[in-house]
Homo-oligomer: A and B are copies of this chain.
């Protein structure tokens, strides 16, 4: 296989990229001068060098010179110790943090548990979570917010974690369901309407 095909194949494994777009990426790189490819190579190499995983929340963050095993959020002791929000992936953490509505800590689960999955522990960071919760409890952790996507896998993952901690003194909550911004009654599904009614705001 020549290197056009080889690189196309690698790009085609990127999320959401098919073989045709992968090839466009390769020709795009070829048509740019050498500096651009060099820049890409350097950025990928730097990524592996500079980005480490936070030992508490497991998210990826840039070391940035300062010597810490904790990301900026886990290192920030002004946040609310009583709450830990579990999200599937780094990009979900980013969305929640950007919304500015939550001031507690996070834990990145690393994935979800699909229905009928026989080995959930291979899909998610269940041991790291165990450890994080033990440590959290020492500092006043009271509520675990299971912030999952509103689909079957998300619900199954939340259920899996809740059962794991059945009998615990912690409160487990899930994100509120209802009308998303822009939703219209006419097109809303019965489940969403039911939740919108049950969780109405007075």
Contact = CB atoms under 8 A, between A and B. Distances in A.
Contacts of A96: 185, 193, 197
A181 interface: yes
A175 B196 contact: yes
A37 B43 CA distance: 11
Interface in A26-71: 26-31, 34, 37, 39-41, 43-51, 60-62, 64
A200 interface: yes
B177 A145 contact: no
Q: Which size bracket describes the interface of A in this complex?
A: 35 or more
A151 B187 CA distance: 13
A160 interface: no
Contact of A50 (B2, B145, B187): B2
Interface in A1-43: 2-4, 6-7, 10, 14-16, 20-21, 23-31, 34, 37, 39-41, 43
Contact of A3 (B50, B180, B192): B50
Question: Number of copies of this chain in the oligomer?
Answer: 4
A193 to B, nearest CB: 4
A91 B27 contact: yes
A182 B189 CA distance: 10
Given A150-B181, A176-B201, A194-B101, A10 B39 contact: yes
A173 interface: yes
B10 A40 contact: yes
A136 interface: no
B110 A185 contact: no
Given A176-B176, A180-B180, A199-B178, A47 B40 contact: no
A87 B185 contact: yes
13 contacts: A3-B51, A7-B47, A15-B24, A23-B94, A30-B60, A31-B90, A100-B194, A102-B197, A148-B185, A171-B202, A176-B196, A177-B178, A178-B196
